[in-house]
Chains A and B, each alone.
Chain A
Amino acid sequence: MTATIGYLAILFAALSSLALTVQGFRGMRNPARATVAKLQWPVYGLVGGAVLAMIALEVGILNDDFSIAYIANNSATTTPFIFKVASAWAALEGSIVLWGLVLAVFVYTVYRGVARRSGPDLLGSGALAVMGIVSLYFFVLMATVSNPFSICAQPASIGCLEAGHWPWADSLAALEGRGPNPLLQNHILMAVHPPMLYVGYVGMTVPFAFAMAALMLGASGTEWLLRTRTWTLIAWSFLTAGIVLGGLWSYEVLGWGGYWAWDPVENASFMPWLIATAFLHSSVVQARRGMLQAWNFVLVIATFALTILGTFLTRSGVITSVHSFTQSPIGPALLWFLMVVLVASFGLFAARAHLVASSPRLDSLASREGAFLLNNLLLTVFAFVVLTGTLYPMFVEAFSGAQVGVGRPFFDRLAIPLAFGLLLAMGLGPITPYRSARPDIVWQRIRNPLRVALGAAALAVVLGYRTPWLLAFILAAVFVISVIARNLFVNARTMATKRQMSFPAGALRVMRNDPGYWGGQISHLGVAVLAIGIAFSANLSVATDITLTPGSTESVAGFDITYVSSFTRQESTRFVSGALVEVAKNGKVVSNLEPRLNQYPTSTQSVATPEVDASWNGDLYLSLKSIDARQVTLGVFWFPFIWLVWVGGFVAAAAVVWSRLVKKPSGERLTETRASRDG
């Protein structure tokens, strides 16, 4: 019954998407038809169907309805409540349901924007039509090759062996479900990380849809950019947070002692992030200077295509990695969709580029535009490097059958100089005037930030940090931070004098006058902090394996690590075996850690859970590699200042709140606001 309702909801959402596409295009062609009433019912139908499908899936999971194959294979009666809820999107078919739901919500918000406007909204109608096509694709996917409501035709003692497509056919329920992948039910972050990433991925559909509509209408100008700015920023913010959370999950759960491995699935989320970041910056150039109109279309199409490519890489099992836990016919379906998206959107772009290309040219490379161009060049090359490195082994294997490996050393070698260049552009950009920069003005603005940065690097040298790349990154990142601080200081002082207010009030007023710009600067601050954190952990981490017998001690990175005893215990959902480890520094016990191996009843593989002693200057990280009656082997890691990575990442993501939620003080003149940017 649940399965039937869920399946019908999916069909209903698919039909509503089709209706939305038809009505949207009709509205775009004929202004008289672009009425809100025509679009209203398809939108409501889509949202209703998507919500109902998700509810049906959750109800089935919470009721342990093992007659549904997906539930029999991804949940169990013993699964804790929160992981049951999360298992609705923990595997392939369910994750597409979540995708559809998120997309439906975005369609609704776009529709609300269209409905609020007076008069016919050709651009908005066209965008809704494009979103209708995308949503039609995903709901048809759910109704065909990726059906979350397939019934179980042949149950096993645990889980389901064979699924039958039609939910109303006779089903046989398994007695017990297989439960979620142990890696996924080992940590709460797994309930949060995928939805965030999906909001990021799916949100990129909005600027893409508006861009397509603008191309179809031959509408040049910034309307599509400015109308989608909020969605782009929200999607970017969630994508950023999702990637950082993924790193945190990898660090907290996988126990290999790191947070980023250039795994193809990590790359799959990083590539759209890089291009979306390039787009955020180049759209500023178009809004301010009218340049890069055509380039912005290219970037927005590329971002959307990369989100589909990312889904393909993650969900098709085409690359083997820790994340690719599924194999299914969805792979070819996604690949075809990717091809259609690329051909249709770039074809449309090629046909209409002459209508939307901008004429203003660059006055001088030494200008704010020049810095933005450098940023775009570095970000797109970065994305290209990640794309090449990720796909290259697959292409070589497909065409020659030979296996080649492209892994972490390759990416590190190219990513480090690119990231360094990006930091430099990030520091120089905000103090370089638009159009053309006179060297004396630039020097006058950078000399103090440069001194602060040199001071920080000199301090690092004195403290004993002498690794070249670490010093280079400290120099560049502190330069970025002090440029931001200088700009705020100079503008706040002027504001305070002019308006007779206190300095902090002046600073706040400056930041509220131009929330878009200052939100961006807060984000830059986060990225700079993140860069320092990565530089420390990449250059000064200590990693080693030690084998200890009970009572024995070994020293790593200044810590005395003593293996006290082993322990085992039965928890509600898992069997835990672990080691009790005492950590001392300078003869004083600082913590007792319990790195563990968790064994889940529904799986043969055991999952290591590392334990971390976090302090202000770094994390001591213990992961249990093996344990038996005589001895224990521990992976011991020291990550200096790793918290900078998490804090910086979340500041970068959360900065969007400032740029979108802060209201400008009333009566402020725009010209004054703009002037403050160049100050």
Chain B
Amino acid sequence: MDNRARTLIGWAVTVVLAAVVVVGLVMGDSAPQDRVEALGSRIKCPVCQGEAIGDSPSETSAAMMEIVAEKVAAGETDAQIISYFTARYGDGILLDPPFAGRTLLVWLLPVVAVAGGIGMILSRRRPPVNTART
């Protein structure tokens, strides 16, 4: 087999495999995630130490999970359910800090860090004139 044919077969294999992965992703079960469970992982158990109500075995958590389940069954949106809990317990009840208010900064700081890091790396590059091979 000559080189040209081998290259072509190589490309064909690559493309077919990539196609399978892409098709799999597109058709993929976008995991109809259990909303109760998802919400349960975002709300902190108020009597435990940093555990989510979905993870904690305490009775308080169990009762709160039941409220979540009832509200999901009643057709309330995630935002409505979250604000129900923040109204009663304050923002400290959330494990998932909102992108606003007091917790806006906790999301912005990593972005600033990435930008600063990239800036530092770019400034370390040799000026383009010198990149020509000698």
Closest residue to A450 on the B side, CB-wise? B14
Nearest chain A CB to B80's CB is how many angstroms away?
18
Cβ-defined contact, A466 with B106, below 8 A: no
Could you say which of A257, A361, A539 contacts B55, with CB atoms under 8 Å apart? A257
Closest residue to A475 on the B side, CB-wise? B21
A365 at the interface (CB under 8 A from B): yes
Cβ-defined contact, A406 with B97, below 8 A: yes
**Per-position 1/0 for A397-427, Cβ under 8 A of B:** 0001011111111100010000000000000
Which B residues are CB-close (under 8 A) to A400?
Answer: 102
B75 at the interface (CB under 8 A from A): no
Contacts A409-B41, A451-B14 known; list 19 others, CB within 8 Å.
A256-B56, A256-B57, A291-B124, A363-B131, A377-B117, A380-B117, A389-B106, A393-B92, A396-B102, A400-B102, A404-B103, A406-B97, A409-B96, A447-B10, A451-B13, A466-B29, A471-B21, A608-B57, A635-B57
Closest residue to A624 on the B side, CB-wise? B57
Cβ-defined contact, B94 with A471, below 8 A: no
Cβ-defined contact, B28 with A467, below 8 A: yes
Could you say which of A322, A377, A457 contacts B121, with CB atoms under 8 Å apart? A377
Contacting B at CB under 8 A, from A361-410, are 361-365, 373, 377, 380-381, 384-385, 388-389, 392-393, 396, 400, 402-410
Cβ-defined contact, A320 with B49, below 8 A: yes
In angstroms, Cα B94 to Cα A392, docked, is 14
B1 at the interface (CB under 8 A from A): no
Could you say which of B24, B105, B121, B124 contacts A458, with CB atoms under 8 Å apart? B24
Could you say which of A373, A406, A467, A626 contacts B95, with CB atoms under 8 Å apart? A406
Most buried by A among B106, B114, B117: B106
Could you say which of B13, B27, B31, B110 contacts A388, with CB atoms under 8 Å apart? B110
Nearest chain B CB to A284's CB is how many angstroms away?
17
B20 at the interface (CB under 8 A from A): yes
Cβ-defined contact, A466 with B24, below 8 A: yes
**7 closest A-B pairs (Cβ-Cβ)?**
A407-B95, A403-B92, A461-B24, A466-B28, A454-B17, A409-B96, A458-B20
> CB within 8 Å of B: which residues of A?
256-258, 261, 263-264, 291, 319-322, 324, 361-365, 373, 377, 380-381, 384-385, 388-389, 392-393, 396, 400, 402-410, 414, 436, 447, 450-451, 454-455, 457-458, 460-462, 466-468, 471, 475, 539, 543, 608, 625-626, 635
In angstroms, Cα B122 to Cα A467, docked, is 35
In angstroms, Cα B19 to Cα A461, docked, is 11
Contact (A385, B55) CB under 8 Å given A403-B91, A405-B44, A458-B20: no
B63 at the interface (CB under 8 A from A): no
Cβ-defined contact, A261 with B92, below 8 A: no
Cβ-defined contact, B41 with A408, below 8 A: yes
Nearest chain A CB to B60's CB is how many angstroms away?
14
Give the interface SS of chain B, mostly helix, strand, loop or mixed.
helix
Which A residues are CB-close (under 8 A) to B96?
Answer: 405, 407, 409-410
In angstroms, Cα B106 to Cα A322, docked, is 24
B74 at the interface (CB under 8 A from A): no
In angstroms, Cα B52 to Cα A539, docked, is 18
Contacting A at CB under 8 A, from B52-101, are 52, 55-57, 90-97
Nearest chain A CB to B104's CB is how many angstroms away?
11
Closest residue to A322 on the B side, CB-wise? B49
Cβ-defined contact, A264 with B50, below 8 A: yes
Which B residues are CB-close (under 8 A) to A458?
Answer: 17, 20-21, 24
Which A residues are CB-close (under 8 A) to B44?
Answer: 405, 407
B23 at the interface (CB under 8 A from A): yes
Cβ-defined contact, B55 with A402, below 8 A: no
In angstroms, Cα B28 to Cα A264, docked, is 35
Cβ-defined contact, B121 with A402, below 8 A: no
Contact (A404, B110) CB under 8 Å given A264-B50, A458-B24: no
Cβ-defined contact, A454 with B91, below 8 A: no
B25 at the interface (CB under 8 A from A): yes
Cβ-defined contact, B42 with A409, below 8 A: yes
Nearest chain B CB to A140's CB is how many angstroms away?
31
Which B residues are CB-close (under 8 A) to A475?
Answer: 21
Closest residue to A263 on the B side, CB-wise? B50
Cβ-defined contact, B113 with A384, below 8 A: yes
In angstroms, Cα B57 to Cα A608, docked, is 10
Nearest chain B CB to A443's CB is how many angstroms away?
11
Contact (A451, B10) CB under 8 Å given A384-B110, A458-B17, A625-B57: yes
In angstroms, Cα B92 to Cα A261, docked, is 18
In angstroms, Cα B18 to Cα A461, docked, is 11
B4 at the interface (CB under 8 A from A): no
In angstroms, Cα B114 to Cα A13, docked, is 44
Which A residues are CB-close (under 8 A) to B109?
Answer: 384, 388
Contact (A404, B20) CB under 8 Å given A362-B125, A384-B113, A388-B106: no
Closest residue to B27 on the A side, CB-wise? A466
Could you say which of B55, B124, B131 contacts A261, with CB atoms under 8 Å apart? B55
Nearest chain A CB to B85's CB is how many angstroms away?
11
Cβ-defined contact, B51 with A405, below 8 A: no
Closest residue to A361 on the B side, CB-wise? B126
In angstroms, Cα B73 to Cα A443, docked, is 53
Contact (A471, B52) CB under 8 Å given A405-B44, A447-B14, A451-B17: no
In angstroms, Cα B55 to Cα A635, docked, is 10
Closest residue to B107 on the A side, CB-wise? A410
Cβ-defined contact, A410 with B97, below 8 A: yes
In angstroms, Cα B33 to Cα A468, docked, is 14
Could you say which of A263, A321, A403, A468 contacts B25, with CB atoms under 8 Å apart? A468
Cβ-defined contact, A402 with B110, below 8 A: no
In angstroms, Cα B20 to Cα A460, docked, is 10
Which B residues are CB-close (under 8 A) to A625?
Answer: 57
Nearest chain B CB to A93's CB is how many angstroms away?
22
A selection of 19 A-B contacts at a CB cut-off of 8 Å is A322-B50, A324-B49, A361-B124, A381-B113, A381-B114, A384-B110, A385-B110, A392-B97, A400-B102, A403-B91, A404-B91, A404-B92, A407-B44, A409-B41, A409-B42, A450-B14, A454-B17, A460-B24, A466-B28
Which A residues are CB-close (under 8 A) to B37?
Answer: 543
In angstroms, Cα B118 to Cα A402, docked, is 34
In angstroms, Cα B23 to Cα A384, docked, is 36
Cβ-defined contact, B124 with A362, below 8 A: yes
Could you say which of A361, A407, A436 contacts B50, with CB atoms under 8 Å apart? A407
In angstroms, Cα B91 to Cα A322, docked, is 22
Cβ-defined contact, B31 with A414, below 8 A: no
Contact (A405, B21) CB under 8 Å given A264-B50, A451-B10, A466-B27: no
In angstroms, Cα B125 to Cα A393, docked, is 38
Cβ-defined contact, B110 with A461, below 8 A: no
In angstroms, Cα B133 to Cα A324, docked, is 58
Contact (A377, B118) CB under 8 Å given A404-B102, A408-B52: yes
Which A residues are CB-close (under 8 A) to B24?
Answer: 457-458, 460-462, 466, 471
**Per-position 1/0 for B1-41, Cβ under 8 A of A:** 00000000010011001101101110111010000010001
